[in-house]
Amino acid sequence: MTTTTPTTTPMMTTATMTPATTTMTPTTAMTPAQKAPLIVAALKEGYPEASCTLTWLKDYELLFSVRLAAQCTDARVNVVTKALFRDYPTLEAFADADIAKMEEAVRPCGFFRVKARDIIASARMLRDEFGGRVPNTMEDLLRLPGVGRKTANLILGDLFGCGGIVADTHCIRLARRLGLCDTQDPYKVELALDPLIPKEEQSAFCHALVLHGRAVCAARKPKCGACRLSAWCANAFIEPSTRLATSRP
Ligand code: SF4
């Protein structure tokens, strides 16, 4: 969901990046609870403006943009929604939309039939059951067509400031490599990270993981020598054949 360029070179640059000087515990032997705050701090330093890069103004626009972003880039979604939000300027307009026209409008985002169907059905549900507003609970969000826990957590964090672990492919891969969890199951990753990351930090943390995953800790060729998290990483400088989660979760 994020594409912001890191504002600093992703290398350890300050004393805060070398926790071995402040604790007797070897950094790579730290427990998840010990190293999580250090990783959060390092990511904040490297990606201080990490945030959602989807373009939206109204609550339902974020919801629909996230739906369109599945298997699609944020950049392409933003191009599509610029026209979409102009042509359908209200929630009612989405709720009353013609399915064939909606499919054409969102076709560039891929999976256009199911995305168009979900957007119209969600608009109708928001209008008819939620007073025209995006709900602010996990339970209600999961009732909306096409919304799973990943989307719901993003909405809770970015729209309502409630926090939420967005367990996407980058989050899962990095959390596992760093040793913050030992599972690739999205829900279990969410449960593992939730108590480790303060609620107020969770949204920025997840957006920063996406940026770091793209720029440094790629699925196939992580650049451990240029990684600001290497001091705490359970898989730093380990040969690809033995590294955890080298394949996409
Ligand atoms: S595997 Fe390498 S690049 Fe990825 S988080 Fe660990 S040290 Fe950084």
pLDDT value for 244: 60
pLDDT value for 188: 98
Question: pLDDT for 195-222, tens place per residue?
Answer: 999 999 999 999 999 999 999 999 999 9
Query: What is the share, in percent, of the chain residues with pLDDT greater than 90?
Result: 83
Per-residue pLDDT averaged across 145-168, rounded? 97
223 catalytic per annotation: no
pLDDT value for 76: 98
Atom of ligand 1 nearest to the CA of 236: 7
**What is the model's pTM?**
0.85
Q: How far is the CA of 113 from the centre of ligand 1 (A)?
A: 38
**Is the sign of the CA dihedral 213, 218, 222, 226 positive or negative?**
negative
pLDDT value for 15: 33
Per-residue pLDDT averaged across 77-97, rounded? 98
Choose the residue to mutate in 170, 173, 230 for probing ligand 1, maximizing ligand atoms within 8 Å of C-beta: 230
Q: Residue 63 pLDDT more than 60?
A: yes
Tokens of 168: 């996407």
Which amino acid is it at 184?
Answer: Q
CB of 236 shorter than 6 A to ligand 1: yes
Per-residue pLDDT averaged across 20-30, rounded? 58
188 catalytic per annotation: no
Atom of ligand 1 nearest to the CA of 228: 8
Out of 35, 115, 118, 150, pick the active-site residue: 150
Atom of ligand 1 nearest to the CA of 229: 8
Out of 58, 168, 194, 221, pick the active-site residue: 168
**68: closest CA among 106, 124, 121?**
106
CB of 222 shorter than 6 A to ligand 1: yes
Q: How far is the CA of 231 from the centre of ligand 1 (A)?
A: 9
Q: How far is the CA of 226 from the centre of ligand 1 (A)?
A: 9
Q: How far is the CA of 236 from the centre of ligand 1 (A)?
A: 5
Question: pLDDT for 223-239, tens place per residue?
Answer: 999 999 999 999 999 87
- Quick one: pLDDT band at residue 29, thresholds 50, 70, 90? confident
Q: What is the CA radius of gyration of the chain?
A: 19
What is the rounded CA–CA span in Å between residue 9 and residue 96?
48
What is the rounded CA–CA span in Å between residue 177 and residue 167?
14
What is the rounded CA–CA span in Å between residue 168 and residue 173?
9
Question: pLDDT for 101-151, tens place per residue?
Answer: 999 999 999 999 999 999 999 999 999 999 999 999 999 999 999 999 999
Q: How far is the CA of 178 from the centre of ligand 1 (A)?
A: 7
Tell me the DSSP string of 6-52.
PSS-SS--SGGG-GGGT-SS-GGG--HHHHHHHHHHHHHHH-TT---
Q: Residue 12 pLDDT more than 70?
A: no
In this structure, which residue's CA is closest to atom 2 in ligand 1? 224
Query: What is the share, in percent, of the chain residues with pLDDT greater than 70?
Result: 85
Which amino acid is it at 44?
Answer: K
